[in-house]
Amino acid sequence: MDSGVLRKILFLILAIAICFGFYFYSPFFSYRSPLLWIFLPNSPLAILAALVTIFYFQKNEFMKLLSSVYVAKFGIWTVFVMLLYPAYYLNQKILPESVALYIIPHMAMVFLALAMMPRKPSKMHLAAVLVFFLANDAANYYLGVMTDYPSIIPLSQIGLVRAFSIFMSITFTFFYFKIGPMLAKTRAVKGVEKALGIGEQKTGKYRA
């Protein structure tokens, strides 16, 4: 299939996912200061960052590091939380919906990171991305941006969820900072970039 067609399909899929995600979180925005909204709809914001990076900022090493960590972290985080509370998220009545609308799409987010591997991120990029995700964790678990709403996530094991989230913020940021440039050279990443018509060209530059 032509890379242009694949790009249009990917753009449409990501746009739909973003709209669905913001619709899911829409009831909660009115309870929070707009200053904290950036920390509330984590998954749709991660996908929005990915869309912007893939289609408009492929040369931007900061955006690639931020977006790759973003989609990988919240893709895995969401599946982890759903498996941690199976009675809440995976009971027999909603299992097909949970798998189709949440588990599969969030696992796909992890693979989406392959389209945004950073090649030469700086230590300044590393510090900025790490600060952002730790601030996100602080807002979600200490300021109550997420934990004030049991309808989003049960609170029975919130300490474990908080520890796992902070662990991912640190390890994923360093992983993509260190390993991302190596992954960018692999056939898998180059194949994704070629399929989408992005990545390194013979001139050594990137094409969006």
Instruction: pLDDT tens for the chain, 208 residues: list them.
Output: 677 899 999 999 999 999 999 999 998 888 788 888 999 999 999 999 999 999 999 999 999 999 999 999 999 999 999 999 998 889 989 999 999 999 999 999 999 999 999 999 999 999 999 999 999 999 999 988 876 666 678 888 899 999 999 999 999 999 999 999 999 999 999 999 888 888 544 434 444 3
- The reported pTM is 0.91
Name the CA radius of gyration of the chain, rounded: 17
pLDDT value of residue 141:
92
pLDDT value of residue 208:
38
**Residue in the block written with tokens 């913001």:** 22
pLDDT value of residue 97:
92
Q: Residue 150: what residue type? A: P
d(CA 117, CA 64): 6
d(CA 168, CA 182): 20
pLDDT value of residue 144:
85
